Structures are given as structure tokens and as C-alpha cells.
């Protein structure tokens, strides 16, 4: 006789249900905590930058290049409520800094970094 996986799973659940109440593993407790914290406001930040290889920092921690967060499926996801510092920078350009508070929506941020030296010339 062949027993399917669903039958084995049902037996395992029933056998576990008859035993004394057991403590939940730490991983289950942590998963529930994460799910509860995810219920707060979150947000997706799409970045469109010139130059596209500029570095992106979130709250002072490097997240990758601007091009890593330039599409709908490739956005900077913010899950913590409150203001976050978003910085875009590249050597040879003035840095760009702004603050963003997740609102539950997707936001597109267009950033054009200005070169430190004027284009087409430098000091004589």
C-alpha cells in the first residue's frame, strides 16, 4: 500500500497534537516577530541616477550602485518606520542627500549628480 506525503503529514500533526504543549522553536518565534513588524509602513524607493554607477547609502550603510535600484522589481525596500537618510555619491561629484519616510507606496527619486569641476575644463 502506498501512503502519500499528505497522510504522513496529517499523522505527524495528530501525533504532535496529543502530546503535552511544547514550546515553540526560537525560529518560529522570530518569524512571528518579523511578520508583526512587517505590518507597519514600508516603502519601495526606485532610483534613477546620473551617473548610474553612483553608490547608494541608506542610513550610512552602502546598499549598492544606483543602477541596482532602477526598476520596479529592483527597488530599495524600506521596512522600518521613521525617516531614513538616502545618500547618492560618486568620486568627482557633489553628493546628494535626502530623507525618506516609508508611506506604503513606491516612490521614484531622480538624482543628477553635479561634477565637482566644471565640464570641459579645469584649472589652467
Supply the DSSP symbol for 66. Answer: G
Q: What's the rounded mean pLDDT across residues 100-108? A: 84
Please determine, for residue 114, whether its predicted confidence score (pLDDT) is greater than 70. yes
| Beta-strand pair 61-65/96-100 | unpaired
The SS3 assignment for 69 reads helix
Closest by CA position to 44, among listed 77, 21, 11: 77
Cα separations in angstroms, 48 against 42, 64, 90 = 20, 13, 14
Per residue in 75-101, pLDDT (tens digit) is: 777 777 788 899 999 999 999 999 988
**pLDDT at res. 41:** 63
Amino acid at each position: 500500500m502506498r501512503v502519500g506525503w499528505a497522510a504522513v503529514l496529517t499523522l505527524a500533526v495528530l501525533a504532535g497534537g496529543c502530546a503535552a504543549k511544547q514550546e515553540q522553536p526560537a525560529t518560529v518565534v522570530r518569524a512571528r516577530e518579523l511578520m508583526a513588524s512587517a505590518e507597519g509602513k514600508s516603502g519601495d524607493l526606485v532610483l534613477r541616477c546620473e551617473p548610474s554607477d553612483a553608490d547608494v547609502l541608506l542610513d550610512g550603510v552602502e546598499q549598492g550602485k544606483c543602477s541596482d535600484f532602477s526598476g520596479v522589481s529592483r527597488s530599495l525596500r524600506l521596512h522600518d518606520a521613521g525617516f531614513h537618510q538616502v545618500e547618492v555619491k560618486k568620486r568627482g561629484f557633489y553628493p546628494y542627500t535626502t530623507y525618506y519616510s516609508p508611506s506604503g507606496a513606491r516612490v521614484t527619486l531622480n538624482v543628477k549628480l553635479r561634477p565637482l569641476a566644471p565640464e570641459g575644463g579645469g584649472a589652467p
